[in-house]
Structure 1
Amino acid sequence: MALSMMSFIGMSVGSREMAATMSIRQVLFFRALVGFVVILLVARSLLPEIRQMQKVPLHVARNVVHFTAQYFWTIGVVLLPLASVFALEFTMPIWVTLFAWLILRERISRPRLLATAGGFLGVLVIVRPGIGMVDPAAGLVLLAAAGYGLSLIMVKNLTRHCSPGAIVVWMMLIQLPLGFLASLTDWQPVHFSAVPWMLLAGIGALSAHFCQAQALKRLEASVVIPIDFLRVPMAAVVGYYAYGEAIDLWVFLGGAIILLSNFQAVLAERRDSRAKLHGPAARQDRVAGAGTWLRRASQSTKPP
């Protein structure tokens, strides 16, 4: 998780530095280009699965949504303090819950409903409507979080048919030409001095998601979510020393409300799952299953 947080912040710093000399559409293109080169070097074993061309329309739809979300997120990285971007991005679980209800017809539990309300309250604390002009870039980051949430729902569907590695390869194959075509509409001269920032942004993007996935394999979500929130103070420190950004306590307060709302929902759902696993109904099912096995064993005519 430490590597994941460092990678996310590295990606945002690399993207901001690239945007100083090129358009945001070029930033997305070169970030995808670096990721594509890395994938070619390490993912040759996935080529047979890619050739099967499973769920290509869903891959395309997912990556159009994800690419658009990245565009909005990068605008936020350029225009807003880094800590504000990461705090607003933590609203993504709210959007995942909403889209899971709308698209997958999943039931919204009471803890998730309370987490959604808490997340909305946290957003109000961060943007503080009525206290001056609300920055439009904050709205774009919220749209980006919604796009990431919808993208995750599509990924959940894709994982029924494709391996995670293949999903990442398709992401690079689709988003690279999307980024290239978008960059042609606002192409700026590219200087050699931007190459290190391209590498930082592109490798950081792949490393962030890979390390986060590895952490989720080894830790429960209730552990990962609080650790991941440390991105906000880390980003505030980087923004303060690298860009002279003021540290806004309202961002920390709003982000903490969003974090705690989601954290409580995860804990409540874990308690419910344990209760179902060890409750009276589960014990009755296990006893019934054992009884069925014993009856079948006693009726067997095979010698021991």
Structure 2
Amino acid sequence: MTVKSTAPHGPATAGPAKRCKQFWLGSPRTRAAVLALFASAILSFIDNFVGSVAEEAAIWQFQVLRTLIAIPLLVVIGSISGQSLRPVNFHKTALRSLVVSAGLLIYFATLGILPVAQAGAGLFSAPIWVLLFSIVLFSAHITLFQTLAIAAGFAGVLMLLQPDLQSLSLLSLLPLVAGVCYGLGMLLTPHLCGEESPVVLAAGVFAVIGMISVAILIYFSLFPVETPNFLTGGWVAPSGRLIWLTFFQAVGAVIAVTCIAEAYRIGVPSHVAVVEYSFLIFASLWAFMLWGLETNLLAMLGIGLILVSGTALTIGQSQDN
């Protein structure tokens, strides 16, 4: 006599682990949020060592060396994962890479002439620009809920960074320009480069940053200034410490930039932009753990507001996917 199994079949039999895996893999918004969080944690960690890099060389030499390390790493990643480094649409990818690179280079440059608070507050205005560009360029419908969530997140950023309003000047507009470029570049990612692989998007940014940095580095090397600094220094013989710091930065940046590119490619730009506010939360945590820098009450409230706004925006719109 044959005994039939009474165990149920099909999707209903999926265990908790399998159902959890299906949830994570089946939600583009969730994947995008996790990738953005992961990238923010890595970037905020490696950026804690930019000051150490500045002690060794100018930003342009650092960016050139980092590109020379990052591109081969991306080639290896592409080979292992089966992703080609040849873009589907070269011109669109180049445009996106140029805009994002401009934002990141301006941000790094302002770190040498402005307090970190002012530079950071400007760069993290990007979600506001994502919102505005979505409406103006792509006729996106932004709900009042989304607007309030993004505004709350930016308010939390200001509470965390606490920029000195009395010291604001025309130079203080440069970080805002960085925020505009970065926000526009992230918005262009799904609209122009939705078919591109994360490796292609990351390689494009590193390549453009590297080429711009080469040109500026050559200029300051041929026409050195009297007292060079992080922004105006030419080529110097790289020390072992600089090579190690650059390699460390390159590996972290390759992982983070690839993850954030994929997050914007598969996610909703305005949602991912709010999740990126977590960079400042992680930065505060790393600063405390690495250097013992404490966060005051206002900054803690800002962190809480950032968490609430990002979580509310992601969960509140979950019915869209």
The alignment's TM-score, normalised by the length of structure 2, stands at 0.66
Letter in 2 for 1:8: L
Kindly tell me: are residues 175 and 269 of structure 1, through their superposed partners in 2, closer, same or farther at Cα, counting changes over 3 Å? same
- Aligned residue number for residue 212 of structure 2: 178
CA distance in 1, matches of 2:154, 2:264: 25
Letter in 1 for 2:299: V
Residue ranges of structure 1 left out of the alignment (5+ in a row): 275-304
- Aligned residue number for residue 285 of structure 1: none
Aligned to 1:145, what secondary structure does the other structure show?
Answer: helix
CA distance in 2, matches of 1:233, 1:27: 26
Is residue 2:251 matched to residue 1:203?
Answer: yes
Map 1:65-84 onto structure 2 (within 5 A). 65-75=99-109, 77=111
CA distance in 1, matches of 2:192, 2:264: 18
Say how many residue pairs are matched: 270
- Aligned residue number for residue 30 of structure 2: none
CA distance in 2, matches of 1:220, 1:104: 13
- Aligned residue number for residue 308 of structure 2: 260
- Aligned residue number for residue 191 of structure 1: 238
Kindly tell me: are residues 23 and 261 of structure 1, through their superposed partners in 2, closer, same or farther at Cα, counting changes over 3 Å? same
Moved more, 12-21 or 31-40: 12-21
- Aligned residue number for residue 63 of structure 2: 28
CA distance in 2, matches of 1:38, 1:130: 40
Kindly tell me: are residues 7 and 72 of structure 1, through their superposed partners in 2, closer, same or farther at Cα, counting changes over 3 Å? same
Kindly tell me: are residues 188 and 95 of structure 1, through their superposed partners in 2, closer, same or farther at Cα, counting changes over 3 Å? same
For residue 150 of structure 1, report the CA deviation from its aligned partner.
Answer: 0.7
- Aligned residue number for residue 167 of structure 1: 201
For residue 257 of structure 1, report the CA deviation from its aligned partner.
Answer: 3.0
Give aligned-pair identity as a percent: 19
CA distance in 1, matches of 2:90, 2:268: 32
Kindly tell me: are residues 243 and 137 of structure 1, through their superposed partners in 2, closer, same or farther at Cα, counting changes over 3 Å? farther
Kindly tell me: are residues 65 and 216 of structure 1, through their superposed partners in 2, closer, same or farther at Cα, counting changes over 3 Å? closer
Letter in 1 for 2:96: R
For residue 82 of structure 1, report the CA deviation from its aligned partner.
Answer: 6.7
Moved more, 111-120 or 96-105: 111-120
CA distance in 1, matches of 2:175, 2:50: 15
Please state which structure has a larger fraction of its residues in helix. 1
Map 1:227-242 onto structure 2 (within 5 A). 231-240=279-288, 242=290
Partners of 1:73 and 1:141 within 8 A in 2? yes
CA distance in 1, matches of 2:286, 2:154: 26
For residue 264 of structure 1, report the CA deviation from its aligned partner.
Answer: 2.4
For residue 58 of structure 1, report the CA deviation from its aligned partner.
Answer: 2.2
Aligned to 1:250, what secondary structure does the other structure show?
Answer: helix
Kindly tell me: are residues 201 and 246 of structure 1, through their superposed partners in 2, closer, same or farther at Cα, counting changes over 3 Å? same
Is residue 2:146 matched to residue 1:112?
Answer: yes
Moved more, 262-271 or 121-130: 121-130
CA distance in 2, matches of 1:242, 1:234: 12
Map 1:1-304 onto structure 2 (within 5 A). 4-44=39-79, 45-47=82-84, 50=86, 54-75=88-109, 77=111, 89-126=123-160, 132-134=166-168, 139-186=173-220, 187-192=234-239, 193-211=241-259, 231-240=279-288, 242=290, 245=293, 247-271=295-319, 273=320
For residue 189 of structure 1, report the CA deviation from its aligned partner.
Answer: 0.9
Moved more, 173-182 or 85-94: 85-94
CA distance in 2, matches of 1:76, 1:239: 20
- Aligned residue number for residue 301 of structure 1: none
Partners of 2:53 and 2:245 within 8 A in 1? yes
Instruction: State the structure with more CA Rg.
Output: 1
Moved more, 227-236 or 24-33: 227-236
Letter in 2 for 1:95: W
Kindly tell me: are residues 257 and 241 of structure 1, through their superposed partners in 2, closer, same or farther at Cα, counting changes over 3 Å? closer
Residue ranges of structure 2 left out of the alignment (5+ in a row): 1-33, 221-233
Kindly tell me: are residues 197 and 191 of structure 1, through their superposed partners in 2, closer, same or farther at Cα, counting changes over 3 Å? same
